[in-house]
Amino acid sequence: MSMATATAPPVERVNYLNKEYGVASWLFTTDHKRIALLYLLSITFFFFIGGFFALLIRLELLTPASDLVQADTYNKLFTMHGMVMVFFFLIPSIPAVLGNFLVPLMIGAKDLAFPRVNLMSWYLYIIGGIMMLHCMLTGGVDTGWTFYTPFSTAYTNTKIVEAGLAIFVVGFSSILTGLNFIVTIHRMRAPGMTWSRLPLFIWAHYATSIIQILGTPVVAITIILVAAERTLHLGIFDPKLGGDPLLFQHLFWFYSHPAVYIMILPSMGVVTEIFACFSRKRIFGYSFVAFSSIAIAVFGFLVWAHHMFVAGISVYAALVFSLLSYAVAVPSAVKVFNWTATLYKGSIHYDAPMLYAFGFLGLFTIGGLTGLFLAALGIDVHVTDTYFVVAHFHYIMVGGAVMGYLGGMHFWWPKISGRLYPEGWARLAALIVFIGFNLTFFPQFLLGYMGMPRRYADYSHMPEFQILNVFSTAGATVLGIGYLLPMIYFLWSMRYGKPASDNPWNAAGLEWKTTSPPPTFNFDEEPVVTWEAYNYAELDAPQKDKDKQEVPVAR
């Protein structure tokens, strides 16, 4: 602490960033905010690795022939793109960075319930990440991130077991994060922070945590079974050994479908906060938005076989899963309508976080509605395993989840770093990402309905698909620039950005009632909550000295 006062300007308060310096103070920290930053660095690293694979994929598809890379290399590229993006970026992205940083702050806690478990989850992530990097550098995997059997257990000669173990390990980091959140939200809310006063970001993370805890063990078991069949030749999935290849798909999707909600629910939580703040309004239908998160988490477990309509399941099973898939669409639609209604009679600001939230709304709507196409059995037969599916899930997982993530990073950046990002650049980046995204992925819907199958290294038999692929590759270039920009100006702002006030957006929520950046234990004194969530009416009430508004203090 004495070091901090020695190096920092005399007026700067002691906060979680300048309290201690040195590598050890980061690597052995149990401060949820510092761990969030460790996660931020690590997932950004993997995001750019995954993005690099995506770039190579798009370049290869610029021409029909397989000319830039060999088919084997291409197959490894899309496999590793998927594995890195899903397990090492999307699943940890919002929960492990923004969730880690904000859950204790938003509920008025000093830290997560299990700070050391939190640090352990980051180490597990890093161990899994190193295993994955090692696997990629020494040959990689070519099964697609879906590991379908018996290809993965008996036919490929790539590093299935190693990749599987990397995912197995990183899965535990996800479980521990979820566990920590659930206990923290139950046990560590500040006095007065009732369930109905929780920010909807917390509700979304609560729902996400349920999925992480209940779903992730299933994929861990599945990986063990794949490894067992591959190394010990136990007959589980391979029919030649007496197994059933569809059993694998059931187990895999039982986790991997809900995993999509692990990615999108936190993003929904982020944009809910943003819509409220930049419309200066209480969220329309608070309890419907809150419970729709829980409904999505629950129904999300009952729809896995909609990935398998043409896989050889019975028509009656397909019927049930199609029906349930429409059931899960209802709470998602409810959310979209409530966000839209929140804008009504608001006082709307167009700062960069809001632009990302608008982008989220548009892309999630398109992604969600194209989900209705895929859930319709008759259409799914034609478009499943084509680029229609590729476009659909990118609209949800990149258009939705990443837009929300970037929106949240901008919204809370002043709190995280204590600095303001350059607003003009941020608005430009939001626009570039939105345009680049649509240019990349919209043509893929058309390609999919035309019948272009996914995971094709070479489409020289169907040159008619080239023009749309060229559009898509061009869009990916734009999108890449859009993603690089925030990284550059966030880094820039850490040194040159204007210092942020405690509450630069004049936003509701306890995280804004402490300093920017917050002190190590978040609040100088334990806050007591006496107001409802999203009390923008009070915040905007004409009063001269509202900046001096004090946090009530526990007696």
Partner 1 sequence: MLDNFPLWPERASTMAGNVDALYIFLLIVSGLMTLLIFIAVVYFAARYRYRRGVPAEQIEGSIPLELTWSIIPFFVFMAIFLWGAVVFFRGRTPPRDSTEVYVVAKQWMWKLEHAEGQREINELHVPVGRDVKLIMTSQDVIHSFYVPAFRMKQDVLPGRYTMAWFRATKPGTYHLFCAEYCGTQHSGMVGSIVVMGPAQYEAWMSGGSTGPLSATGEKVFSELGCATCHRSDSQGRGPNLQGVFGKPVQLEDGRTVTADENYVRECILDPGAKRVKGFQPIMPTFQGLVSEEQVNALVAYVKSLSNSSAAGANSNAAMALPAAPDKAPAKAATQGSQVQ
Q: How many residues bind partner 1 (CB under 8 A)?
A: 92
Q: Which stretch binds partner 1 (CB under 8 A): 167-175, 186-194, 242-250, 415-423?
A: 242-250
* Residue of 116, 120, 118, 117 lying closest to 128 (CA atoms): 120
What's the min distance (Å) between Cβ of 92 and partner 1? Answer: 26
**374 touches 384 (CB < 8 A):** yes
d(CA 69, CA 74) in angstroms, rounded, equals 6
What's the min distance (Å) between Cβ of 469 and partner 1? Answer: 13
d(CA 371, CA 136) in angstroms, rounded, equals 32
* 196 binds partner 1 per the rule CB under 8 A: no
Residue with Cβ nearer partner 1 (298 or 343): 343
Q: Which stretch binds partner 1 (CB under 8 A): 163-171, 345-353, 511-519, 522-530?
A: 345-353
What's the min distance (Å) between Cβ of 51 and partner 1? Answer: 22
d(CA 290, CA 155) in angstroms, rounded, equals 46
Looking at residue 97, what DSSP letter applies? I
Task: Out of 120, 379, 431, 435, point to the residue binding partner 1 (CB under 8 A).
Answer: 379
Over the Cα atoms of the chain, what is R_g? 23
* 151 binds partner 1 per the rule CB under 8 A: yes
In single-letter form, the type of residue at position 413 comes to W
* Residue of 472, 324, 474, 321 lying closest to 394 (CA atoms): 472
CA 165 to chain centre: 22
* 111 binds partner 1 per the rule CB under 8 A: no
Q: Which stretch binds partner 1 (CB under 8 A): 21-29, 170-178, 189-197, 332-340?
A: 332-340
- Report the run of H or E that residue 128 belongs to, with start and end: helix 115-137
Q: Which stretch binds partner 1 (CB under 8 A): 38-46, 82-90, 458-466, 514-522?
A: 458-466
SS3 annotation, 539-553: HHCCCCCHHHCCCCE
Q: CA–CA distance from 27 to each of 35, 122, 236, 426 (Å)?
A: 9, 10, 41, 31
* Residue of 353, 305, 345 lying closest to 328 (CA atoms): 305
Residue with Cβ nearer partner 1 (298 or 369): 369
Binders of partner 1 in range 212-241 (CB under 8 A)? 238-240
Q: Which stretch binds partner 1 (CB under 8 A): 207-215, 347-355, 396-404, 410-418?
A: 347-355
* 457 binds partner 1 per the rule CB under 8 A: yes
Residues in the chain: 555
Residue with Cβ nearer partner 1 (7 or 316): 316
What's the min distance (Å) between Cβ of 413 and partner 1? Answer: 21
* 372 binds partner 1 per the rule CB under 8 A: yes
**166 touches 128 (CB < 8 A):** yes
* 373 binds partner 1 per the rule CB under 8 A: yes
CA atoms within 13 A on the CB side of 381: 7
Q: Which stretch binds partner 1 (CB under 8 A): 38-46, 334-342, 470-478, 492-500?
A: 334-342
- In the chain the first and final C-alpha atoms are separated, in Å, by 28
Binders of partner 1 in range 244-303 (CB under 8 A)? 244-246, 279-282, 284-288
d(CA 321, CA 375) in angstroms, rounded, equals 8
In single-letter form, the type of residue at position 216 comes to T
Task: Out of 21, 155, 496, 531, point to the residue binding partner 1 (CB under 8 A).
Answer: 155
**Binding-site string for partner 1 from residue 383 to residue 412, where x marks contact by CB under 8 A and - marks none:** -xxx--------------------------
DSSP for 294-347, please give it. Answer: HHHHHHGGG-GGGG-TTTT--HHHHHHHHHHHHHHHHHHHHHHHHHHHHHTT--
Task: Out of 451, 504, 519, 552, point to the residue binding partner 1 (CB under 8 A).
Answer: 451
Q: Which stretch binds partner 1 (CB under 8 A): 21-29, 39-47, 357-365, 399-407?
A: 357-365
Binders of partner 1 in range 460-519 (CB under 8 A)? 461-462
**Binding-site string for partner 1 from residue 86 to residue 105, where x marks contact by CB under 8 A and - marks none:** --------------------
Binders of partner 1 in range 36-75 (CB under 8 A)? 66, 71-72, 75
* Residue of 351, 448, 318 lying closest to 395 (CA atoms): 448
* 117 binds partner 1 per the rule CB under 8 A: no
* 375 binds partner 1 per the rule CB under 8 A: yes
